[in-house]
Amino acid sequence: MDISVVIPLYNEEESLPELTEWIRRVMLENQFRYEIILVDDGSSDTSWKVIQGLKTQHPEIVAIKFRRNYGKSAALNVGFNAAEGDVVITMDADLQDSPDEIPELYSRIKNGADLVSGWKAKRYDPLTKTIPTKLFNAATRSMSGIHNLHDFNCGLKAYRKEVVKSIEVYGEMHRYIPVLAKWAGFTKIQEQVVQHYPRKYGSTKFGAGRFVKGFLDLLSIFFVGKFGKRPMHFFGAIGVISFLIGFFITIYLIFDKLMSIANGTAYRNVTDQPLFYLSLVAILIGTQLFLTGFIAELVSRNSTDRNKYHIEEVI
């Protein structure tokens, strides 16, 4: 099979017939062998009924229905597991992404790219969404080192099959799939300017909370990617530095005290100086960070994929 189109959807009953028809047209024009994987993320409208109807006319549809709403990342993950095509293309169900981009995305992957991410150069979304998105993309670019992407969270993307089979999308990590791919060793990441349309039916499924969650996810993805397998290097290092600062201040305080006693200078309580509290806090925080690192190390040692590496080739 050439292409698997993976589409996560949540309450998109009006868009589905038009979307599947459009995809079918593009596929037939280009003579692709394909499947459309519709993942119904626990819709509460009639989406699933619509899908059942579509499936009777289009046997190339594979449909999966969640019992409840788990989120876009979960839907993508399940779609990725089911995908059988050499090239996997994801798109949103709301007709904001255009299936006409599929042939070019496909040929870029065939020409060697691991991942091609859509860039909605001209967006049809409200300003309240586009401005924070710009900030996000800048932060993600600099933290991930993927400097050639303008738009990380575009729903329209294409992947080589190995990529989707090697990464695990969970929580709300769908915003950072190119980063996950890079951590997994797939570095040929390209961008393609894509057509974007206003939402035709229904309404957006993500509120303003997306920005807070997105930022926290960026921090955790960065942390897990860099220190997930060696947490002690992070906590231990800061912990030791903090502890040493506290330790040397304490030595100084003791020395100072002994000197003042020996010299018979004005008697001063150790607790009367700010340095004492500073050393106390530094030692406590240092010890705690160190212990945190130790426990994190034990946790990561117990994880089942502690020795899971992506092997590219064996000859």
| Closest separation in Å from C-beta 121 to Mg ion | 16
Q: Under a CB-based contact definition with an 8 Å cutoff, are residues 115 and 181 in contact? A: yes
Which residues from 86-125 bind ligand UDP, rule CB under 6 A? Answer: 92-94, 96
Q: Which does 40 bind (CB under 5 to 8 A by kind): ligand UDP, Mg ion, none?
A: none
Q: What is the CA radius of gyration of the chain?
A: 26
Q: Is 94 among the residues that bind Mg ion (CB under 5 A)? A: yes
Give how far Cα 107 sits from Cα of 46, 57, 89, 104, 235, Å.
35, 28, 12, 5, 45
Position of tokens 């290092």?
Answer: 237
Closest to ligand UDP by CB, 137 vs 287, is: 137
Q: Residues 62, 71, 236, 289: which binds ligand UDP (CB under 6 A)?
A: 71
Q: By CB under 6 A, is residue 69 in contact with ligand UDP?
A: yes
Choose from ligand UDP, Mg ion, none: what does 69 bind? Cβ within 5-8 Å by kind: ligand UDP
Contact call for residues 92 and 15 (beta carbons, < 8 A): no
Greatest alpha-carbon pair distance for the chain in Å reads: 98
Residue 227 sits at φ, ψ, to 5 deg, of -120, 5
Q: Which is nearer to ligand UDP, 203 or 269 (CB)?
A: 203
CB of 212 to Mg ion, least distance (A): 19
Nearest to 85 by CA among 141, 162, 170, 197: 162
Nearer to Mg ion, 71 or 246 (CB): 71
- In whole angstroms, the minimum distance from the beta carbon of 68 to ligand UDP comes to 10
> How is 107-150 classified by DSSP, letter by letter?
HHHHTT-SEEEEE-SS--S-HHHHHHHHHHHHHHHHHH--TT-S
Site size with ligand UDP, rule: CB under 6 A: 17
Q: Which positions lie near Mg ion, rule CB under 5 A?
A: 92, 94, 96
Q: Which positions lie near ligand UDP, rule CB under 6 A?
A: 8-10, 12, 41, 69, 71-72, 75, 92-94, 96, 155, 204-206
